[in-house]
């Protein structure tokens, strides 16, 4: 851990709540000026001391940077982890995890895996020599049955993208604990550490596309991997970060740390708005089905209540009509922006199959909705006029 570079005392914050940690971790004043907000350090190199390079200090920007160290300390603390490695994108973080495995190893992934990760596994990592087995991750017995002697990583995305399937993290981790050398990594992008903390449920690793809710403003790109203590597999990930160099800029690290200060407030409002939108859509005559674990008739309502603080800001729904009609609905909105990605303060939605492209398994009438922070009355009014094409 890198706290000591900033005279950071972990014990000082041990009993503090999430909101306080999000604001104060890694925010020690600049000793040269007393600046409350740490500066951005753009330098690519650092002066060596007289006795030669100290490998615990700063040397070269690919290896480390003060803004990056502060950010990694913050994200690790919020996830309850022992270490964090940040990357230039969420996919770069996932790639580092897969590259930490050996050729011939196997990844167990959910059937409803994020389309970008499916392409990454089926194309790039297949040529790396990794096998991938897709399974119903919501069924712990199916997960257990799918594990082979070459399975080294169980990849959990919960809620899943785009159908919002919810995996019982503790149950999957209990299955994994029966096997040696088997890591469980949970993609926690959609719920963030404010709503869900997979390491406390038994996971070994957590992944984020920090582009999404941690960034929260649709203006930066990044990823992160967080680990439990004493995890040699994470040491491999950290080594790949240093050697391969897919790291974020000091400016992006500074921007992301600033954004995380308001994470709890934003997530509360994302959840509140998404609940209202989901309930509205569930009663609309032009909507066939709503996928949102916060609806009490969702098959994932109980497991979500058990393992997360709230249900998140993402939902999907099936429009009662053709694929072309679903695409037209998306194009009709006035407040909701037709765009891919998610987690920004502005509401966005998309015809998901069009975004995923060829070989997409997503239903043609499915619309994925990232519910933002606009007033809910304005969102419902926009939905009403867009749905009634």
121, 186: one domain: yes
Q: How many CB atoms lie within 10 A of CB 12?
A: 11
Q: Do 246 and 301 belong together in one domain?
A: no
Considering 238, 259, 280, which residue would you say is the last residue of a domain? Answer: 259
Q: In the prediction, which pLDDT does 11 show?
A: 55
Catalytic, out of 64, 168, 187, 252: 187
226: helix, coil or strand? strand
Overall number of domains in the chain: 2
Tell me, what's the pLDDT at 85?
Answer: 98
Verify that 194 and 283 share a domain, yes or no: no
Note whether 280 and 344 are same-domain residues: yes
Q: Which of 199, 225, 259 is the last residue of a domain?
A: 259
- Look at residue 53 in the predicted model and tell me its pLDDT: 79
Pairing of strands 151-157, 106-110: parallel
The CB density around residue 8, as the number of other CB atoms within 10 Å, is: 20
Alpha carbon separation from 70 to 15, 21, 64, 86, 264 (Å, rounded): 20, 13, 10, 11, 19
Range of the domain at 234: 3-259
- Looking at the predicted structure, is the pLDDT value of residue 173 above 60? yes
Read off the pLDDT of each residue in 106-120 and give the average, rounded to a whole number. 96
Of the residues 68, 152, 212, 266, only one is catalytic, namely: 212
Return left, alpha or beta for 341; rule: phi > 0 is left, psi -120 to 50 is alpha, else beta: left
Facing residues of 225 across strands?
A: 85, 207
CB-CB neighbours of 294 under 10 Å: 20
150 is catalytic: no
Q: Which pLDDT belongs to residue 181?
A: 94
d(CA 224, CA 252): 13
Distance between CA atoms of 349 and 370, rounded to whole angstroms?
6
Residues 239 and 280 in one domain: no
Residue 276 and residue 246 share a domain: no
Told to judge if 212 belongs to the known catalytic residues of this protein, a careful annotator would answer: yes
Rounded to whole angstroms, the Cα distance separating 53 from 64 reads 14
Catalytic, out of 5, 62, 150, 286? 62
CA distance 355 to 316: 14
User: How confident is residue 306, by pLDDT bands cut at 50, 70 and 90?
Assistant: very high
**Catalytic pick from 3, 114, 292, 300?**
114
Same domain, 183 and 109: yes
Q: Is 271 within 8 Å of 310 (Cβ atoms)?
A: yes
Point out the domain boundary residue: 259, 280, 308.
259
Contacts of 171 by beta carbon, 8 Å cutoff, 6+ apart: 140
Per-residue pLDDT tens digits for 314-326: 999 999 999 999 9
Q: Which residues, in sequence order, are CB contacts of 305 under 8 Å at separation 6+? A: none
SS3 267: helix
For the chain, what is the mean pLDDT? 94
Looking up residue 355, the CATH number of its domain turns out to be 3.90.1150.10
Joined together, the tokens standing for residue 156 give 């959990």
User: Which whole-number Å values give the CA distances from 382 to 141, 275, 338, 340, in the listed order?
Assistant: 43, 16, 12, 18
Q: Residue holding tokens 């867009």? A: 386
Please confirm, yes or no, whether 114 is among the known catalytic residues: yes
213 and 166 in a single domain? The answer is: yes
Task: Assess contact for 297 and 303: CB atoms under 8 A.
Answer: no
């Amino acid at each position: 851990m890198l706290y000591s570079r900033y005279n950071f005392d972990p014990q000082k914050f041990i009993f503090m709540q999430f909101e306080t940690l999000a604001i104060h971790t890694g925010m020690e004043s600049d000793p040269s000026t007393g600046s409350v907000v740490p500066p951005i350090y753009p330098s690519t190199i650092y002066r060596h001391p007289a006795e030669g390079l100290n490998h615990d200090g700063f040397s070269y920007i690919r290896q480390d940077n003060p803004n990056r160290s502060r950010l990694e300390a913050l994200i690790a603390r919020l996830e309850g982890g022992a270490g964090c490695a940040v990357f230039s994108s969420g996919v770069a973080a996932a790639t580092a995890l897969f590259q930490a495995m050996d050729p011939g190893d196997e990844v167990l992934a959910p059937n409803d895996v994020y389309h970008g990760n499916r392409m990454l596994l089926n194309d790039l990592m297949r040529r790396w020599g990794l096998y991938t087995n897709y399974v119903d991750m919501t069924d712990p017995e199916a997960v257990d049955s799918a594990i082979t002697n070459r399975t080294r990583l169980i990849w959990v995305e919960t809620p899943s993208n785009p159908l919002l399937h919810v995996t019982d993290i503790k149950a999957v981790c209990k299955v994994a604990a029966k096997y040696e050398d088997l890591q469980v990594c949970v993609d926690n992008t959609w719920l963030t550490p404010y709503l869900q903390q997979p390491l406390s449920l038994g996971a070994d690793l957590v992944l984020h596309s920090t582009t999404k809710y941690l960034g929260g403003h649709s203006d930066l790109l990044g990823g992160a991997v967080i680990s439990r203590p004493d995890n040699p597999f994470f040491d491999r990930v950290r080594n790949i970060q240093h050697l391969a160099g897919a790291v974020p800029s000091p400016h992006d690290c500074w921007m992301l740390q600033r954004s995380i200060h308001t994470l709890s407030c934003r997530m509360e409002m994302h959840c509140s708005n998404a609940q209202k939108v989901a309930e509205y859509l569930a009663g609309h005559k032009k909507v066939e089905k709503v996928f949102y674990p916060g609806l009490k008739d969702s098959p994932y309502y109980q497991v979500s209540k058990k393992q997360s603080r709230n249900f998140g800001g993402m939902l999907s729904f099936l429009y009662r009509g053709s694929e072309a009609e679903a695409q037209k609905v998306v194009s009709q909105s006035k407040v909701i922006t037709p765009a891919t990605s998610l987690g920004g303060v502005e509401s966005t939605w998309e015809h998901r199959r069009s975004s995923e492209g060829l070989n997409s398994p997503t239903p043609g009438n499915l619309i994925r909705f990232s519910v933002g922070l606009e007033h809910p009355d304005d969102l419902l009014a926009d939905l009403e006029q867009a749905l009634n094409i």
